Amino acid sequence: MSKIKYRFNTHSLTYEKVGFSWKKIVLKVLSSLGIGIVFAAIIVVFAYRYLPSTKEKMQKREIEWMTYQYDILNKKLSQVQTVLGDIQKRDDNIYRMVFEADPIPDDIRKAGFGGVDRYKELEGYENSKIISATMQRLDQVSKQMYIQSKSFDEVVKMAKNKEQMLACIPAIQPISNKDLKHEPSGYGMRMHPIYKYSKFHAGMDFTANPGTKIYATGDGVVELAEYGSGYGNHVIINHGYGYKTLYGHMETIIARVGQKVKRGELIGLVGNTGLSAGPHVHYEVHKNGDPVNPVNFYYNDLSPAEYKQMIEISSRASQSFD
């Protein structure tokens, strides 16, 4: 049973019965609804602004996972760069030096990629900095690996050519030890046997009986085979790689101009032609046009002890044979 409400009338100073009004009820309901809607809106805005949604939570987890993966990737890149740096050092200081090749300059090895806009498409994101930096490191490592790969291609090529080069470099005596008649006269200032004054001797003299076999000391092509007033019958072999050898005072020239010869191949016989004080072969080694001491090129023919003895003997000799 609803309660009857009364209102005090100040004019008549009596209580009057309050009548039923739908308008008031509607206004009251609307007022309550309005207040509820306002509070609901405030709550929704607060939740939307300050409380992450399920989708946002998933995206945040994905970003955290991605950042973690980039950290791992950068650590691996650091390890790769360390190993690559070690390979580059060995390439420059060991492999290329063995084959007498210049090291690759640092400005080529460590050069970056050109273009300021190369990573522009990665800008404007929350993690643009880490993504861009990682991409730059990846590009740098990729380029360094490409350069190193090309360098190893060159090293392999040089290694293949090295076998040929080693066969061409003079590495034995022109006369076998068993055929030597006297101790060889060495390279340097020596007394000339005919003119009797000190003169630079650009080779070594190996004395032997006339007709003793003379051998090519390395692979090459016969460049000259003729008689000259100084060296008499002599042969010059071009070995390539800047090396040439000369064999003088032959009794007989066997090699012919243009002939390809192998190390140890017979090219002539010992004689006493030209300006000579006795049967011997005058032997010279030239590197890039300059004479060098032949004693440094007998490593394929002598044991360490014999090589040491050869150096001592050649340095003691005071007179040459030509």
Query: 240: closest CA among 225, 218, 257, 256?
Result: 218
CB within 8 A of 134, min separation 6: which ones? 70, 73, 74, 77
Sequence ranges of the domains in the chain: 6-50, 54-168, 177-316
DSSP result, 226-294: EEETTTEEEEEEEEETTEEEEEEEEEEE---TT-EE-TT-EEEEEB--SS-SSSEEEEEEEETTEEE-G
CA distances from 36 to 31, 39, 51 (A): 9, 5, 21
Query: Which class for 73: exposed (0-12), middle (13-18), buried (19 or more C-beta within 10 A)?
Result: middle
Phi, psi of 37 (to 5 degrees): -65, -40
Query: 171: closest CA among 316, 307, 312, 320?
Result: 307
Task: Give 153-199 pLDDT, tens digit per residue.
Answer: 888 888 777 778 888 989 888 998 776 766 566 665 555 555 454 56
Q: What CATH number should be reported for the domain whose range is 177-316?
A: 2.70.70.10
pLDDT at 256: 96
> Does 239 score more than 70 pLDDT?
yes
Angle at 296 between CA 216 and CA 163, to 5 degrees: 60
C-alpha–C-alpha distance, residues 322 and 316, integer Å: 17
pLDDT at 10: 74
> Does 126 score more than 80 pLDDT?
no
The more confidently predicted of residues 5 and 81 is 81
> Does 312 score more than 80 pLDDT?
no
pLDDT at 319: 47
pTM, two decimal places: 0.51
User: What is the average pLDDT across 78-102?
Assistant: 80
> Does 84 score more than 80 pLDDT?
yes
Query: Which class for 322: exposed (0-12), middle (13-18), buried (19 or more C-beta within 10 A)?
Result: buried
Phi, psi of 58 (to 5 degrees): -65, -45
> Does 259 score more than 80 pLDDT?
yes
CA dihedral for 148, 152, 158, 163, sign (positive or negative): positive
